[in-house]
Structure 1
């Protein structure tokens, strides 16, 4: 019956699962809190052409191909000629712009995020930037990490068709010497065709399996606005999750700066009754309130075995750490408790 921080730390369970789905808002929040050292900024689809440096290409296009929104412009070009020199150059510049991004040395939201979850959890991202992968790598030897899925490709991730697995983009497998081909980033609006690309199809199969699993009890949508241009993605997520009546005990969470009513309505088909949480920033979310114990918190608050268990304590992570070492030190007792539980239950 956890009622103190110490109880929360030492209460470890084997069940449950948490899926976190990231949109552009997650990376925007991370870079606003901790600006990139090279001064780069994350573009929106409406200022993408200017920020990424595509104005010279866009200005030379015929009127019927031009568009202010980058996704629409790319779609127009692809429909006109998918092999045009403009498309080749755009893809090259987009990849180069995002590949050059690097997390600053201090702890970022992405570092907090990867450390907040465990291998029974999954983080799926729609973002091209390398932040999730960079945080995963630099924190990976401090605790067991969640699984990752890259739903729109990623500049940091490559794929080997021979091995049927991904690795660092542009690297070669140490074991087989096979090349991890950089993943494709751009798709026309009208036909994202997630199932046509082998890598993307694999990533979607993973997130759909996690969402469909009865073990998954929490879903957090962080900064993903479910744009009208991505109807196929939302449909796939909806089909995997099921109807709100199918998931009548699970907890859905939205982290978004937009008004609660707006985002609540947007995700209405995913939410059963009052079973949702809303936060306007990461540090007000379940991930920050009970890092590495989000499932335990769910079971003891949403599905308590006894009435007393409903009053479970939280263990909010401080947001004031200046170094990664401070962040790692704070999480160490959580990791130690997990290792002790694994030894006790023979799950090492």
Structure 2
């Protein structure tokens, strides 16, 4: 007998793991659906100079230092003089542009869907500087157990206390007598993206490498991250942690990207075993939206069914029609209740 949607809600497993890696495309997709309240746009590296309003700085630079791509421009300036007035001004403008961004109040954004789609066994790792992931995490945390999050290029929301070796909300204190969470570094020259040199960045990368390396991690989703040539070191670190495609021959790799499937898959082919991948241009067609909070259960039943009916288990898809946070929270309520019931059963089994 085929499983039903209700079976999907009630089926809760321990273990497992899903890693989601976010690039600029994820934040751009979020603001397309729900515009940033202040009208701020998410830039790509190719339109960054115009959107963040850096043109006046570029115009006074010598021709040899100019570049249309922001990362190349910053690299040129850094190589010339890493402490120049232009470098300092760019750093300040970039930080100020992103720090004032916010998610629309009471609207269900893609980031809200995303953080609620996963559980504490899962990890969201972002390359983005914007505060959207952190804001979505905070406002949805009272509703359900959240996944872990890490910030691979720093974030305007997250600070780091060197005294304590801990991260937290920027500007806040770890302790009453100090331990200030100071802003993390955002900008690095292309040629010097050394992810082990910065204490905070190294700590964040250790998380994603650990999660990718774990045998229990069976799903990886790349959302809006194109693995640009300027991030060769980042992709190499992830590839080393993940291992060869032949050794990950049962795992499922997923790409959410607006580019063609051929182009997107080519970027990630060293991670993909044979046909074990999914490709979509839309978050709401992904595994995260097909089975929120049950992505591992769906994977496990499909690939290692205990009964014939498991392989044909129904999905429990969430749709883009949900517009408000309250609607989103109500939709997830049965899933969270089933998880709480499962946790109570585990306590009884373990005699706690």
**What range is the shorter-chain TM-score in?**
over 0.9
Aligned to 1:128: 129
- Is 1:66 equivalent to 2:75 in the alignment? no
2:86 matched residue in structure 1: 86
SS, match of residue 124 in structure 1: strand
Deviation at 1:175, TM superposition (A): 5.2
Verify the 8 A CA contact 1:2 1:11 in the aligned structure 2: no
Aligned equivalents of 1:174 and 1:134: distance in 2?
Answer: 22
For residue 73 of structure 2, give the secondary structure of its aligned residue in structure 1: helix
**Corresponding residue number in structure 2 for 1:276:** 277
CA RMSD of aligned residues (A): 1.2
Superposition TM-score, scaled by structure 2 size: 0.97
The runs of at least 4 aligned residues of structure 1 exceeding 4 Å deviation read none
Q: Distance in 2 between matches of 1:85 and 1:149?
A: 31
**Equivalent position of 2:344 in the other structure:** 343
- Comparing 311-320 and 142-151, the one that deviates more: 311-320
Aligned equivalents of 2:15, 2:229: Cα separation in 1: 35
Distance 1:175 1:339, change over 3 A: farther
Q: CA deviation at 1:13?
A: 0.2
Distance 1:246 1:191 in 2: 31
Matches within 5 A, 1:87-236: 87-105=87-105, 106-174=107-175, 177-236=178-237
Alignment partners' CA distance in 2, 1:174 and 1:163:
9
Given that residues 260 and 278 in structure 1 are in contact (C-alpha distance below 8 angstroms), is that contact kept between their aligned partners in structure 2? yes
Q: How many residues align?
A: 348
Structure 1 segments unaligned to the other structure (5+ residues): none
TM superposition shift of 1:318: 2.5
Specify every segment of 5 or more residues in structure 2 that has no aligned partner in the other structure, as ranges: none
The structural deviation recorded for 1:74 is: 0.3
Rounded to whole Å, the distance in 2 between the matches of 1:262 and 1:244 is 18
Greater alpha carbon shift after TM alignment, 306-315 vs 86-95? 306-315
Measured in 2, the distance between the counterparts of 1:242 and 1:288 equals 27
C-alpha distance in structure 1 between counterparts of 2:190 and 2:319, whole Å: 40
For each residue in 1:266-306, what CA deviation from the matched residue of structure 2 results, as whole angstroms up to 9, or x when unmatched?
Answer: 11110001111111110000000000000000000012123
Give the TM-score normalised by the residue count of structure 1: 0.98
Preserved CA contact (<8 Å) 1:2 1:8: no
